[in-house]
Structure 1
């Protein structure tokens, strides 16, 4: 029974064909496309307002060179937001619970920010490895520590997103199993666990949105250091 709790994190297959690509692309198909009408409907208006607010929020701390990343950062934010929220629905699969996918998303984006800094301002980018005013005996140790922390960044991005979503989904399944098990034995306790499940589901919706925001925000901060 313990193993069945982790079946929800297994990539779905149909006739031996993995469906993780389909589950990744499906949320993008649910986003309404803008039409050519002069007066748009409410859903399109809310969508445009949300995308505009997200883009403005991430672009404010960046200079004009960083504004070229507006489309990438906004797309990553919307992509993660849709996948995380749709993964909370019953009988669905959340691709962002897979560490391999999160690392495949985090590492190229982090590497792109690093290469941007090394191309545009190599001295400043390499200067982050050694703080100003460091005593001479501590220079080798600090360079090693800063280099290690630099290469840990994409790992931290992927693990943070995976761990938070996996823990939330696992808690929801554990409490829902306890609710159905206790219902015929102790109905009052079952109602209490159902209330806890409702509160946890609300919290998990907030976590899904916050983790998408944190992932994109950290990328924008890494970009800010390199432009």
Structure 2
């Protein structure tokens, strides 16, 4: 199994996954760089998985379907807002794609129908604009409580799972995270590593879940330092998350 990160548009990522029985793609922000990545490896494209309806995740679908004849799979809850789907899925669905077991996780909040794709044997989850490296997506259609529930589902995956998110927002997310938990030594080290990687032009939107749990403030509302800084010692985790999200919206 091989995962290839494909930079698209100004800050999006698509992900190619080569399994034992073919190649699938998670999201299609634009066709040209994805086609180039496939052709450089001599790969075809069998299945295209869509996480949610926003244009910067689906603009390349028609061109890729036209070129490769790939099957297009996406969330049933957004089927009327997506390019035509061959397979519409809901949270809890389990299927096999490219010879790899795939579990669909409902992660509403950013959009109401947003899903994540978890490949347990590959120890990988593709989260797009739900859980992001050192952050989470803006709550456009759902509620903060809904987003917190979605992040909690992702946080419960095995800690060795690699999280592949949809945008190169990590440096900005790190700067914000340090305003929320400035004493977190693991976060400081990660922020330095991110700055170095970005200076070298390396992508930073993929990270092991265990590192997210240790450094991402949106997954850490029970941190005593965060609660003390926000003055929310007796609040629920969802309430602390809501305040962190509101502060990030203003950051």
TM-score by length of 1: 0.25
Q: Which has the higher contact order (CA 8 A, sep 6+)?
A: 1
Larger Rg: 1
More helix by share: 1
Greater percentage in strand: 2
